[in-house]
Amino acid sequence: MISLQSGRLAATINPLGAELWSLADAAGRELLTDADPAFWSGRAPLLFPFVGRLREDRYRVNGVEYSLPQHGFARTSAFVQIQGDETSAVLRLEADDETRRHYPFDFRLDMRFALAGATLEMTATVHNDGASDMPFSFGYHPAFAWPLPYGAAVEDHRITFEKAEPAPIRKVGHEKGLIALESVSSPVEGRTLRPTYAMFEGDALIWDHLESRSLTWGAPGTAHLKIDFPDTPWLGLWQRPGARYLCVEPWAGMADPVGFTGDIWEKPGVIRLTPGEERAFRMHVTLVEN
């Protein structure tokens, strides 16, 4: 495990998956999930080279078929730390023979974590080290404590978006893990979402016409989290009903739509990275103490 300290926050990163394992305030109060295996033992996996589930866990690129599990392989791959000090660390995953069996591209994924006062800055940078265009998507999947450790009840917690979010949202369809073709009415009232366990009985809520690139999570009048995601145009919220977490998931890309049979280049949200090109995706989490 890799430990970072700023005086305001402490973070622990697991090199397996470059996964944020713990985020605690100065008093040692945990801001992430308790990872109860009765619900979900994940904490904050990285979603790469694709976000969500592929139909039948398979995809085609340029006419050749490959298999890949939900959310890809980064979350179960060993990253190597290439930089680090008391407040920051950079971990790297590079293509090898095993990754090429499932994803035939020469990539490099660098994941930087840095503590700056009360903010955890995370930046994922995807490089195309190959000689051909590379399709990919990327997403964050952190599970924040619900309730946060500041005394408010579960039902008092709110997601407050940066902007009003009136657009319809998507949910998971009849094919497990795939995105329904039809939209449903937004559960957001102006800028405010009052989450309930019942909202997630049918799986994730998905914003594919998102106006905001920032939100807050917590109960009014108590310490809360400000979450910024300037480079990702979509958002998923997810939990297992009754669990003590809420996943706030900024995505650049999403699961296959129900019935999708096209080539990967036709998949909604896939990014085309030309040889030598790179793309960075930032997510900052700030503890705001009242």
pLDDT, tens digit, 9 for 90 and up, residues 39-89: 999 999 999 999 999 999 999 998 899 999 999 999 999 999 999 899 999
Percent of the chain past pLDDT 90, that is, above it, reads 91
For the entire predicted model, the pTM comes to 0.95
Note if the bond before 49 is cis, omega within 30 degrees.
yes
For 209, what's the count of Cα atoms within 13 Å in the CB-facing half-sphere? 12
Q: Which residues pair with 81 in a beta bridge?
A: 91
What is the Cα–Cα distance from 189 to 258, expressed in whole angstroms? 28
Is the pLDDT reported for residue 257 higher than 90?
yes
Domain hosting residue 106, numbered range: 2-288
Predicted confidence at residue 123, as pLDDT, reads 98
Number of domains in the chain: 1
- pLDDT (tens digit per residue) in 192-241: 999 999 999 988 999 999 999 999 999 999 999 999 999 999 999 999 99
| Residue 22, domain CATH | 2.70.98.10
